Amino acid sequence: MSLAVPSSLLKVEEIQGRGRGMVASQPLKAGQIVLRDSPILLYSALPLVRQSLWSSSSASATCFCDHCFRTLPPSSQGDSSSSSVLCPSCCHHCFCSSNCLSKALNSSHSSWVCQALSHLRAHSLLLEQPLERQVQANFLIAAYNLANISPSNFQIILSLQGSPDDATIVAAQFLHPLISSFCSLALISPHNGFSLELTSALLSKDKLNAFGIMQPFSVDDDQRSVRAYGIYPYASFFNHDCLPNACRFDYVDTNPPDGSHNTDFIIRMIHDVPQGREICLSYFPVNENYSSRQKRLIEDYGFTCNCDRCNVESNWSDNDSVEDNAEDGEEVMDEDQYETMAASDTDNNPCDDNNDFPHAYFFLKYMCDQKNCWGTLAPLPPQGDTPSNVMECNVCGKLKSGDDFDIDKEQDEIPMED
């Protein structure tokens, strides 16, 4: 199954050694929106058993609507004036409004899902498993349900990249018999021939393609967690680069304009790129150091990154590697370390790709300096042909004037690539 990208700005191309990727079909401008994408599947990243919303002990827990994943206001928990509603059958899953509940009962929280999750919550062997295994169970229930309510979207998931590896086979060997023993998979979709192999395949698609929808940003939280995962059919075609030229924005806790959903993604260009250039996202915050990035990419995505930044950092001697500049045991650099390294390199020549830290420019211009944020900045969309001078952070939402960074505008296209 091949999907036509719903944007004249991008096309999907086969790229040697990287599978499919998204390529600019015309010159693209900083801030330009190149893709809007809606999830075909969303599932919770929280443990199967959560504290009751209505118990006083839950006051400090952050809760999210189990359909649209908006944050539920803590003040409304247990408050009869709150618009939040529990599923009348399981009294466990909570929804931000009766409207969301009624949509969920016909889709994400069908009676089959409700019963399947109730069974899983009663299964002590599963509850003893690490969070990752419980979240995989959430995914499988959501995916099997999708096969019933939208067979075409289920086929799209199966068409994404990913084949079972040892870890997904082990997970499938644990979860498949457990779920099929009491969730009557044949009943929900008799045509799909649910099997251990299909379960392994689904888990492998999820591993390579699911996007995390993060919990709300807080300056006091240096370990931001995921609230939900989503499969976004078009955004799944973006390959990774450790110095991306586009980044993803979501506005989950806001009320989107008519016709869009709060869980939609918007992919915006960070800087100008010419026609034919591959458009890449970073699969995680850009501040991670070389060895931590390589470890994540091989373990989670099955490839070794040889982007320009990795090629430079792999040649750093032990004495000037980022990780040796960071404190012992830390896998990321802090703000001061970046600023010191970036400033010393840009003092000489901000865009000279012959120096040993050519991506200093990227960190100074496009990395958010808010404490504990590590988001990426992209300009607001241009107005007609006029580029915006306002940068928006894709994590904390902070707006910053592009003038805060005063390198000559002509250098806006990062010179490292090609």
Ligand X SMILES: C[S@@+](CC[C@H](N)C(=O)[O-])C[C@H]1O[C@@H](n2cnc3c(N)ncnc32)[C@H](O)[C@@H]1O
Residues that bind ligand X in the complex, under the rule CB under 6 A: 17-21, 161, 208-209, 236-237, 239-240, 301-303, 305
**Core vs surface per residue 27-64: b (16+ CB within 10 A) or e:** ebbbbbbbbebbbbbbbbbbebebebbeeeebeeeebb
Written as one letter, the residue type at 293 is R
Distances (CA, A) of 284 to 45, 213, 236, 379: 17, 12, 14, 20
CB of 100 closer than 8 Å to CB of 164 = no
Closer CB to ligand X, 51 or 163, in the complex: 163
Q: How far is the CB of 10 from ligand X (least distance, A)?
A: 13
Residue 122 to residue 119: CA distance in whole angstroms:
5
Q: How far is the CB of 281 from ligand X (least distance, A)?
A: 9
Q: At what angle do helices 196-209 and 290-301 cross, to 10 degrees?
A: 150
Closer CB to ligand X, 30 or 210, in the complex: 210
Q: How far is the CB of 301 from ligand X (least distance, A)?
A: 4
Written as one letter, the residue type at 179 is I
Residue 55 to residue 42: CA distance in whole angstroms:
26
Q: How far is the CB of 300 from ligand X (least distance, A)?
A: 8
Q: How many CB atoms lie within 10 A of CB 254?
A: 10
The secondary structure element, H or E, covering residue 214 is strand 211-214
Q: How far is the CB of 36 from ligand X (least distance, A)?
A: 18
Q: How far is the CB of 265 from ligand X (least distance, A)?
A: 13
CB of 171 closer than 8 Å to CB of 59 = no
Q: How far is the CB of 359 from ligand X (least distance, A)?
A: 15
Which residue's CB atom is positioned nearest to ligand X?
Answer: 19
Closer CB to ligand X, 172 or 243, in the complex: 243
Closer CB to ligand X, 239 or 376, in the complex: 239
Closer CB to ligand X, 278 or 334, in the complex: 278
Provide the 3-class DSSP secondary structure of residue 210. coil
C-alpha count within 13 angstroms, C-beta hemisphere, residue 43: 22
Take residue 69 and report the two structure tokens written for it: 């994943």
Closer CB to ligand X, 165 or 339, in the complex: 165
Provide the 3-class DSSP secondary structure of residue 35. strand
Q: Is beta strand 239-240 parallel, antiparallel or unpaired with respect to 278-281?
A: parallel
Q: How far is the CB of 22 from ligand X (least distance, A)?
A: 8
Closer CB to ligand X, 75 or 304, in the complex: 304
Q: How far is the CB of 313 from ligand X (least distance, A)?
A: 15
Q: How far apart are the first and last CA of the chain?
A: 32
Written as one letter, the residue type at 213 is I
Provide the 3-class DSSP secondary structure of residue 377. strand
Closer CB to ligand X, 19 or 256, in the complex: 19
Q: How far is the CB of 185 from ligand X (least distance, A)?
A: 27
Closer CB to ligand X, 20 or 123, in the complex: 20
Residue 273 to residue 276: CA distance in whole angstroms:
9
Closer CB to ligand X, 206 or 392, in the complex: 206
Take residue 28 and report the two structure tokens written for it: 């693209």
Residue 144 to residue 194: CA distance in whole angstroms:
9
